[in-house]
Amino acid sequence: LLQELIRKGIPHHFRAIVWQLLCSATDMPVKNQYSELLKMSSPCEKLIRRDIARTYPEHEFFKGQDSLGQEVLFNVMKAYSLVDREVGYCQGSAFIVGLLLMQQMPEEEAFCVFVRLMQEYRLRELFKPSMAQLGLCIYQFEYMLQEQLPELNVHFRSQSFLTSMYASSWFLTLFLTTFPLPVATRVFDIFMYEGLEIVFRVGMALLQVNQAELVQLDMEGMSQYFQKVIPHQFDSCPDKLILKAFQVKYNPKKMKSRLEKEYAAIKNKEMEEQIEIK
């Protein structure tokens, strides 16, 4: 029942509290460190400042260098960079925190939710400097593409149109830089309950819907199509996108056991070859 309700969309005014409950971010000890973290300085500050200006620039809350939105976003990103020095700050993560803050979530609470998402939802692995987890997600997505849309897969290859060219941002920002906010937020609702699986499902649904058009385009045409056409196809009917996403075949067992092992073996082989070259 809860799953069904979430897939239908969480009402806007309940999102802040429901998201916190879904990821168990209430009563986190790290919340008590937040004000202390803000007093410290982080090596990532310059990078964070630069990026924040490019995060939701059209949204009222984040407009202008001195806006409250930019200030609290900076605080949360800086605090996180201090509790997780391995990741520090990674471009793209500000879009996720920005979305939390837009739900009128106090910054300490947004910080706790972000810590949970990074630790428990595989996001930290995606944002690590090696980006190995992103490579794995792309590998898994390519497997689904070969299995479910072989004709489109052949066309992409013939045009040297790599999966990472269009899908990297889907995984790193959970479609927040792809769709307008009302659509992206619906995907995020489901991510909060079901994890990264929804990114695979929505991505594959988009390719299924657009296969007939994409196979007629060259590389440049496809790049344009992904940037201009795909983001707005479901503006008036996010429900239709969610419905299509859950019609996509997805085998969590195969994704986890077989493909993770395969990808690890490929990476190990690459590392061995690099060592030999040296």
Measured CA to CA, the distance from residue 199 to residue 196 in angstroms comes to 5
CATH fold of the domain at 2-122 = Helicase, Ruva Protein; domain 3 (1.10.8)
Report the C-alpha gap between 69 and 64 in whole angstroms. Answer: 9
Which pLDDT tens digits describe the chain residue by residue (278 residues)? 899 999 999 999 999 999 999 999 988 999 999 999 999 999 999 999 999 989 999 999 998 888 999 999 999 999 999 999 999 999 889 999 999 999 999 999 999 999 999 999 989 999 998 888 999 999 999 999 999 999 999 999 999 999 999 999 999 999 999 999 999 999 999 999 999 999 999 999 999 999 999 999 999 999 999 999 999 999 999 999 999 999 999 998 888 888 989 998 998 888 888 887 76
The domain segmentation of the chain, as residue ranges, is 2-122, 132-270
Would you state the torsion angle of the CA atoms of residues 233, 158, 196, 123, taken in this order, to the nearest 10 degrees? -110
The C-alpha atoms of residue 230 and residue 241 are separated, in whole angstroms, by 11
The CATH architecture that domain 132-270 belongs to is Orthogonal Bundle (1.10)
Per CATH, 2-122 and 132-270 having the same topology is answered no
Nearest 5 degrees, angle CA 87-CA 101-CA 188? 75
The DSSP element (H or E) to which 68 belongs, if any, is: helix 68-83
Q: Which residue has the tokens 């060259």?
A: 218
Question: Is the pTM higher than 0.85?
Answer: yes
